[in-house]
Copies of this chain bind each other. A is one copy, B any other.
Amino acid sequence: MLSATNKKISSVLLVGGTHGNELTGIHLVKQSQKEMLGENYESFSLDYLIANESAIKANQRYIDVDLNRCFKLADLNDSTLTGKESKLAKSINQKFGPKGNSKTDFIIDLHTSTANMQTNIVITRTDLFHLQLASYLKQVLPDVTVTSEAELMEDHHFLESIAPNGVLIEIGPIPQGCIEYACYEKTQSATRACLDFIELFNIDSLPSFTDTLNTQSYYSKIHFPTDDNDDICASVHPSLIGKAYPKLNKGDPIFKRFDGADILYDGEPTILAFINEAAYYDKKIAMCLCNPINFSLISASKNK
């Protein structure tokens, strides 16, 4: 019995370079293609995509708009969107989708962060298949945190959403525009674990899982303090720099102003993620807030 869905995964797409200055995925996809990684798996075909060549050449996250926000079905069908990434999204959707009737069954999209996100597995669906995938990754990799973004939007804007199944892998900390082997190796391990899971799923040989999957769910973000000129006037507090998903309680220092004064947190207890992510400075976002959410694999199974 195929335990989560009756549909076997026949085609997988491995994507790097959705963000042009996140080098790890780009080089991993090229190396995987060179090594013919797909030949290790019998039950599905593996294809490769370097997503945003123009942004990679410019060593920027994107040229016009963030490509990984361009895959809402509504936007893919909107002929008035003609920016560089909007057009690119449509052509990727034609080649590997189209969303809703996709030739690709599963997409793995590789990302990095300047924040200490460890091995962050982002899922955008919480059916039994994806919950089992996330549980499997937690079983076989030492430092996995699972983030569910399924709740955030129905018509999702991620590249991986053009296939009916997929995952986004985000490893950090690493500066933009840099490669570090430790980060490369973590990305490689997570990629291979995903492919292993798909193979096991296809041949009906998944291991047993615990009943509950612990995830983190984003519910808000905190912006940098600004001055009268709307300039950032404080940094994330040094006590939080480099921390992976720390707890923050009322009264804890959260920012250090450039004049040296501490700013204390005044909200409800929370867990922090994406602390000091370089890509979020343009929106003056200093960190994201999340809460633990536990999914039951038993009830997901019953819900099928």
Contact = CB atoms under 8 A, between A and B. Distances in A.
A contacts with B: majority SS? loop
Interface string A215-239: 0000000000001000111011110
Nearest to A279: B177
Interface in A71-94: none
Contact of A233 (B31, B176, B180, B281): B31
A279 B184 CA distance: 19
A28 B180 contact: no
A235 B59 contact: no
B276 A180 contact: yes
Interface string A259-276: 100000000000000001
What number of copies of this chain does the assembly contain?
2
Nearest to A224: B179
A180 to B, nearest CB: 6
A120 B107 CA distance: 44
A30 B241 CA distance: 23
A278 B238 contact: no
Contacts of A233: 27, 31
A48 to B, nearest CB: 14
Given A60-B60, A258-B27, A258-B31, A281 B178 contact: yes
B59 A282 contact: yes
A256 interface: yes
Contacts of A23: 281
Contacts of A114: 175, 177-178
Chain A, interface size category, equals 35 or more
B31 A281 contact: no
A177 B281 contact: yes
Contacts of A258: 27-28, 31, 184
A19 to B, nearest CB: 13
A35 interface: yes
A213 to B, nearest CB: 31
A65 interface: no
A36 interface: no
Given A59-B282, A175-B278, A282-B59, A180 B241 contact: yes
A260 to B, nearest CB: 8
In order of increasing CB-CB distance, the 4 nearest A-B pairs are A175-B175, A177-B278, A31-B258, A181-B235
8 contacts: A27-B232, A35-B259, A60-B60, A174-B175, A178-B278, A179-B232, A180-B276, A181-B241
Given A30-B231, A114-B177, A180-B241, 12 more contacts: A27-B231, A27-B258, A31-B259, A59-B281, A173-B175, A176-B278, A177-B279, A178-B281, A181-B236, A181-B237, A181-B238, A182-B241
